[in-house]
Every structure is written in structure tokens, then in C-alpha cells.
Structure 1
């Protein structure tokens, strides 16, 4: 019920209960709390059974846990057996999957690299330093512009 409550928290609550109520009254309080919890569970179970009987036979397998939003989404939307809502989630996932486009681009790059002998290919890039152009061919430099 409380997944975040561990042994240190339970021991702290027990020590606090003994200090607040005393060892004499503590068993009476534990019994009254347990009785209250039993009454609440019985009331809840009777209310669930009354709702099931009022809904009729078409809702005989109805579970109240299915009304929890996480359970509802998991059961009806993300369910792939066709009994849930058909939202086309598989189509959306495949449309958003970039692997197909990436393989097409990678294949195009490989083909372009393999076809370097064709006349339409760009000239190869050389990494050698070229001579500096003459002063008249260079653009004017304005030191105040920077």
C-alpha cells in the first residue's frame, strides 16, 4: 500500500506510538484502528458489489482497478490485440522511426562515393596550400568595420 515506507520508518512510527499512547493503551488503540479498517473495507466491498449488481450482467467482469488512468491506458490504448482502441500507434511509431531515412541517406552517400569516376562528380579537394592572390585581386579590408 505504501511502497516508500521501509523498516526505519515503521520502527520510528512504532516508537512514536509507544511514547504518545503508552504501552498500556497501545493494544486498545491498535484493535480499534484494525476494527475501523475492517469496517471501511467491508463498506467498500459492499458498495462495489452493489454497483456491479446495478450495472447488470453485461458488466459481470468489470473491475474497478481498470478505471485507474494508468491501467486504462495500458489495457485499452497500448494493447495490441485489437480489443482496445485502434489508434494506429504502430503506424505512428514506424512513421517517426528515422532509421529508414538514415539508411536511404547512407546509401546515397555510399553510391556518390563509389561514383567518383563519373564526369558529374565534383573535383577532388586538395589540402595543399595555394599561393596568395595578388593585392589587386584581394578584397579591401576595413579595420574600422570590425
Structure 2
């Protein structure tokens, strides 16, 4: 299948095109189509050769089917991202949290509520 077109659909399109173009101009159009097809095939072949030359041995290691844009399903990507384990806090993240807590007017507590008139915690590194 070529972009979801079956042989029957291509045949119907060809018959309609032949009727619209007419028998006088049909050979010229068929020759032009053949020329464009040959040029496109040569262009794609040369592009593949250039990519293979530039990538070297890594070209054979790439699984090209995984790069097919038709395989990208946003629902699957989001599902996989949500199922990933939560990131483990690093030393740098813990140190940043301590710096924020030390600059606040009161210690940061998860789920802490603020009373009217109390200054909210302030992060000097935030924009």
C-alpha cells in the first residue's frame, strides 16, 4: 500500500486522468511522470547514500522503523511518561531546598497554609 491507496484506487485515478487528459496529450504526460519518478528515486537514493557516508558504521545500528512519525501516539508517550519512576532527589536539589527554606520568613512545610497578613515564603533565586 502506498499512503493508504490500493491498486483499485490507483487504477480508477489513472482511468479518470486518461479521460480528462485525452489520447493526444497522454503519452507526453506519461513521459513527464516517468521522468519525475526517476528523478525522485535518484534523489532519494543519493540522499540515503550521503546519510550512510556521514553516519558511517552507526547507520546500520539505527532502527529506522522507530523513527516513523506514524508510530508517535501522544497518548502512548504520555502514558509512558506517567508510568516512569519519579526522579530521585539529588544532593544539589536538597541543598537548593535548604537554601530556600533558610531565606523564607518561616520554614517551608508541605501543605502549610498561610494566614492573612503573613508574608509568603520568598525564593531569592526565582525570577
TM range (shorter): 0.3 to 0.5
Relative to the length of structure 2, the TM-score reads 0.45
Q: Which structure has more RCO (C-alpha within 8 Å, separation ≥ 6)?
A: 2
Relative to the length of structure 1, the TM-score reads 0.40
Whichever of the two has the greater Rg, that structure is 1
